[in-house]
Structure 1
Amino acid sequence: MLTLLLSTFGDFMRLPWFAALVSGPSMAPALRHGDRVLIVRTAHARPGDIVVARFRSRPDLLVVKRVQRADGDGWWVVGDNPFASDDSERYGRADIIGRVTFRWWPQPVRFRRARA
């Protein structure tokens, strides 16, 4: 799950980026509960990218997951922690909202695009 920090401000300004707070263990060890991340708005992703997405079957749920593959007109996304992750196995296709590019708290890390 993901808790947005700047969603109202970002939506109002339509900035190309927004910040978020990671909630839950589904992306451990890459991202952990309490990590703060910077997301660049985009609907494009590659397998291996960490993204913010919304499942079509659960539009109220905003999640941070890793892209596994394109699936028709949507994306198949999975968590890094299979023991604590509700992902496309449970909810189906997702729509990408943005790509996680940087973790700025507690320890800065830049996430690069996956290599093909």
Structure 2
Amino acid sequence: MKSIHQAVVGALGLTLAVSALANPTDDAMHKLATESGCFACHSIEPGKAGPDGLKPVGPSWKEVAAQYAGKPGAQEFLTRIVLEGSSPYASHWQGKVSGLAMPPNAVAITEGNARMLVSWILSLKK
């Protein structure tokens, strides 16, 4: 009986852990973004100036969420951009931000964490 109780408690703990990963908190995503260096170029809210007082380096995440809202494949596309970077010649953010392209970040964040962060970003409301 004791082993069944332990199995149930263990399964419940695992379920809660998986649920926490599937529905990350704002604090957890802020911490991940900070540790991964994301806030060097991005902010959550639009309108924040870059470090030099000019246009921000990259778009705010709420602007990204609005740009990609409801678009099929957005999560996979943005996860690839985070990991592999983007082309300065294909940027649809030109004139809105001071950065020309997103550098590859696979050395700073794992694919799983990038996917989780992108999912959270896409859930943000403007």
Bucket of the pairwise TM-score, normalised by the shorter protein: under 0.3
- TM-score of the two chains, using structure 2 as the length reference: 0.24
Bigger proportion of residues as helix: 2
- TM-score of the two chains, using structure 1 as the length reference: 0.25
Bigger proportion of residues as strand: 1
Larger Rg: 2
